[in-house]
Amino acid sequence: METNLYLPADYPAEKTATVNTVSTVQPYVYACVFSSLCIVTGLIWDISWHMSIGRDGLFAPPHLVIYIGAVVSGLFSGFQVLKTSFFSNPEEKAKAVNFWGIFYGSLGALFCIWGAIAMLTSAPFDDWWHNTYGLDVTILSPPHTLLAVGMMMIQFGALIAVIASANHLRENQSKTLHNWLFALAAGLLLTTFFTLFSEYLGKHRMHKALFYQIGCLLFPLYLIAVARAFKMKWAATATAAVYTLQLLLLLWILPLFPASPRLGPVLNHISHYQAFDFPLLIIFPAMMVDWLFLQLHTKKVWVKTVSAALAFLAVFFVVQWFFGTFLHTSVLARSWFFGGTSWYFGSDPNYPYRYSFRPENVDTGFTLIKGLMIAAVIATISGSIGYKWGNWMRKVQR
């Protein structure tokens, strides 16, 4: 049905103008990708801050990095909309969507503006929330959720902006720059998804079926979507690579800096930042998804989707189960490279399951098989939705 929205070659469409759609990456696209980087870096730094220092204020350094992301994307996108609406020729306007009668802007910019307003709205809301229900140290509260949705919307806007820009490329134009921008935008958004669900995706849960069910809910949806959305051979792999690199860099850099707890009780006396999680090895199932899409490109959609989703689960399970054993229990993982010793200051460092799996967190036998079968169903459904989502993103023109 969506294909109707494309102009068929023989469709006698009225053309308002002959638009020369040569793609140059507009400044707001760079700005939005930069914002996406700021947001996710600030978010992970903030988590690390809460694990190591505990308390923060409105203008704590990680918050400032997030705000920079919001402000930059809001200003650049807002400027893009105002410029297109009031200071552009009809040709420029013809590349944008018209809304509320007078405004013209790209979809990417609109998502970014929405995200910036949502983040702005969450600030006074959160301030009131703290005064009314207490200074929270939880990730999820209504104002924080609004903030998180705003952040994701900015990152999504960046992704859409890159895709739309790439869709204007001519056959003979180089796509390298767009490929890089896409991998960055998509990878950074993947990092945010992972971070928001990290409570369920920790290393101590890697032997539990729920871990794979949550993983299958998120990753086939997103990886199949990005693989479908962008005409790039290894799109999902590149996305996962950016995610991996970003988490690794933060895992290695943050603990270099001193930090000491500013809230009690302090059970784990630390002197440096406690790192966030080692990345999941999504890069391997992502490669499988890309490879299958290449192999099965002539097959029916459902064949591609179901194969990719199930292959995702198979590779994800094998890789992550064994890697989980290493990461959580091996002495070798307790090094700067894997960040295995990272531990919240308020938790007892002698917790008996710090380096071993709690029996409740291990599924075996039929429970595991049943859990994985549920994960397979989830993966298939999420992969199918992902394919449709990717299909839509693939078509974004403005």
Provide the CA 188 distance to its chain's centre, in angstroms.
Answer: 5
Please, what is the minimum distance in Å from the beta carbon of residue 32 to other proteins?
Answer: 15
- Contact status: 199 vs other proteins (CB under 8 A): no
Please, what is the minimum distance in Å from the beta carbon of residue 242 to other proteins?
Answer: 24
Determine the Cα–Cα distance for residues 127 and 131; give it in Å rounded to an integer. 6
- Contact status: 94 vs other proteins (CB under 8 A): yes
Determine the Cα–Cα distance for residues 115 and 19; give it in Å rounded to an integer. 30
Residue appearing with tokens 């440096």: 272
Please, what is the minimum distance in Å from the beta carbon of residue 267 to other proteins?
Answer: 6
Q: Are 85 and 103 in contact (CB under 8 A)?
A: yes
Pick the closer one to other proteins by CB: 53 or 313.
53
- Contact status: 253 vs other proteins (CB under 8 A): no
- Contact status: 169 vs other proteins (CB under 8 A): no
Provide the CA 268 distance to its chain's centre, in angstroms.
Answer: 31
Determine the Cα–Cα distance for residues 136 and 56; give it in Å rounded to an integer. 10
Binding window for other proteins (CB under 8 A); candidates: 63-71, 115-123, 289-297, 366-374 = 115-123
Task: State the burial class of residue 265 (Cβ atoms within 10 Å of its Cβ: 0-12, 13-18, 19+).
Answer: exposed
For 197, 315, 367, the CA distances from 357, given in Å and listed in that order, are 20, 22, 17
| Number of chain residues interacting with other proteins (CB under 8 A) | 59
- Contact status: 262 vs other proteins (CB under 8 A): yes
Which helix (H) or strand (E) segment holds residue 99: the answer is strand 97-99
Burial 7-34 (b: 16+ CB within 10 A, else e): eeeeeeeeeeeeeeeebebbebbbbbbb
- Contact status: 319 vs other proteins (CB under 8 A): no
- Contact status: 391 vs other proteins (CB under 8 A): no
Pick the closer one to other proteins by CB: 96 or 280.
96
Binding window for other proteins (CB under 8 A); candidates: 123-131, 207-215, 307-315, 359-367 = 123-131
Residue appearing with tokens 């983040």: 119
Please, what is the minimum distance in Å from the beta carbon of residue 130 to other proteins?
Answer: 8
- Name which position in 168, 203, 205, 304 contacts other proteins (CB under 8 A): 168
Please, what is the minimum distance in Å from the beta carbon of residue 71 to other proteins?
Answer: 16
Tokens encoding 143: 């104002």
Establish how many alpha carbons lie within 13 A of residue 358's alpha carbon, considering only the half-sphere containing its beta carbon: 10
- Contact status: 245 vs other proteins (CB under 8 A): no
Q: Which residues contact 117 (CB under 8 A, 6 or more apart)?
A: 74, 150
End-to-end CA distance of the chain: 19
Please, what is the minimum distance in Å from the beta carbon of residue 272 to other proteins?
Answer: 14
Number of residues that this document lists for the chain:
398
Pick the closer one to other proteins by CB: 126 or 363.
126
- Contact status: 97 vs other proteins (CB under 8 A): yes
- Contact status: 9 vs other proteins (CB under 8 A): no
Pick the closer one to other proteins by CB: 131 or 172.
131
The values of phi and psi at residue 109, to 5°, are -65, -40
- Name which position in 76, 111, 317, 387 contacts other proteins (CB under 8 A): 111
- Contact status: 395 vs other proteins (CB under 8 A): yes
Binding window for other proteins (CB under 8 A); candidates: 11-19, 213-221, 227-235, 375-383 = 11-19
Helices (H), 87-208: 90-93, 107-133, 142-167, 176-196
Residues 132-151 that bind other proteins (CB under 8 A): 132-137, 141-142, 145
Please, what is the minimum distance in Å from the beta carbon of residue 309 to other proteins?
Answer: 25
Please, what is the minimum distance in Å from the beta carbon of residue 327 to other proteins?
Answer: 28
The values of phi and psi at residue 129, to 5°, are -60, -45
- Contact status: 16 vs other proteins (CB under 8 A): yes
Reply yes or no: is the peptide bond before residue 265 cis, omega within 30 of 0: yes
Please, what is the minimum distance in Å from the beta carbon of residue 199 to other proteins?
Answer: 17
Residues at the interface with other proteins (CB under 8 A): 2, 4-7, 13-19, 21, 54-55, 91, 94-95, 97-100, 107, 110-111, 113-114, 117-118, 120-121, 124-125, 128, 130-137, 141-142, 145, 168, 260-267, 392, 395-398
